[in-house]
Amino acid sequence: MKNPKDGFFIGRIKSLKYAFKGMWILITTEDSIKVQLSVAFIAIILGFLLDISAIEWMLQFLAIGLVLVAEAANSAIEEVADFIHPEFHKKIGKIKDIAAGIPTFAALTSLIIAGIIYIPKILVFF
């Protein structure tokens, strides 16, 4: 929560501190983020091995960022849902299902990007 005594710069620096704290929480506690980071690591290794172009690197990093952002949004929504209603409720189930759709859209988009980048490069070996 904002402290009205903080000036603009102190306020911005504090927000940045909380944002990095959020990233740290996601990386250390969320299994889905850990899985996606591992996939991103493999994609980066593959990028070096198959010598992808600058444009392909940019698209790959955009795809990685998109999936991580989507997973983070999903985790935040799940946290709020569990906090406001920890017990079973049809509406919470629907909210969580919709939230799960966010990273699924991102993952499918990333899969298409990965396919366009890597399938032609892999087919060369056959």
| Number of amino acids touching ligand ATP (CB under 6 A) | 10
CB of 15 to ligand ATP, least distance (A): 26
Q: Name the residue number minimizing CB distance to ligand ATP.
A: 93
Do 69 and 116 meet the contact criterion of CB atoms below 8 Å apart? no
We find the least distance from the C-beta atom of residue 65 to ligand ATP, in angstroms, to be: 19
Confirm or reject binding of residue 38 to ligand ATP (CB under 6 A): no
CB of 33 to ligand ATP, least distance (A): 9
Beta carbon of residue 31, minimum distance to ligand ATP (angstroms, whole number): 6
The DSSP secondary-structure symbol of 61 reads: H
The contact mask relative to ligand ATP for 78-107 (x = CB under 6 A, - = no) is: x---------xx--xx--xx--x-------
Backbone torsions φ then ψ of 119, nearest 5 degrees: -55, -50
The tokens for 112 are 């298409």
> Residue 100: phi, psi to the nearest 5?
-70, -25
Token pair, residue 44, equals 């980066």
**Among 30, 50, 68, 71, which Cα is nearest to 114's?**
50
Query: Toward ligand ATP, which CB reaches closer, 32 or 60?
Result: 32
68's CB contacts (< 8 A; 6+ apart) are 33, 36, 37, 40
Interface residue list for ligand ATP (CB under 6 A): 31-32, 78, 88-89, 92-93, 96-97, 100
